[in-house]
Amino acid sequence: MVLFLFLVIALVVVVGAVSLAVIGGGESGALADVAPERLTDPLPPDRPLRRADVDAVRFPMTLRGYHMDEVDDVLSRLGAELAERDARIAELEAALAGAQATAVAGPALFEGYEPRKTTEDTKGDDQ
């Protein structure tokens, strides 16, 4: 009988402690708000992504991890922007290579080149 009474008192103490912790009887106050169940897209649609944008992405948790469609959407957007940047880098590198080739050839590049005559130039020749 003493053991039963001891177990009942211990159970009441544990339930009371857990209740106080849940209600907010500790230093931290009330429990924090639950994160949204759907991703609110923090990626800006009106400008290219920056590292801070990618660092700010947080996916809401589900029972077995993350929502796959939300992760796929973000990864698709990142992949498209990376492909666009790669194409732009290749374009700029090609333009730079062309400018460097012109600078290396110098004035000798245009030797033997006759500029086309415009209609105004040909009118002056006829007179």
pLDDT value at residue 86 = 92
Q: What is the pLDDT of residue 34?
A: 61
The pLDDT of residue 93 is: 92
Task: Identify the pLDDT of residue 31.
Answer: 56
Q: What is the predicted pLDDT for the residue at 73?
A: 86
Mean pLDDT by 10 residues, the chain (127 residues): 90 89 63 62 79 80 79 87 92 89 66 64 56
Query: Residue 78 and residue 83: Cα distance in Å, rounded?
Result: 9
Those residues with Cβ within 8 angstroms of residue 81's Cβ, 6 or more apart along the chain or in another chain: 48, 49
Q: Is the pTM of this model over 0.85?
A: no
Tokens of 72: 């796929």
CB 22 within 8 A of CB 31: yes
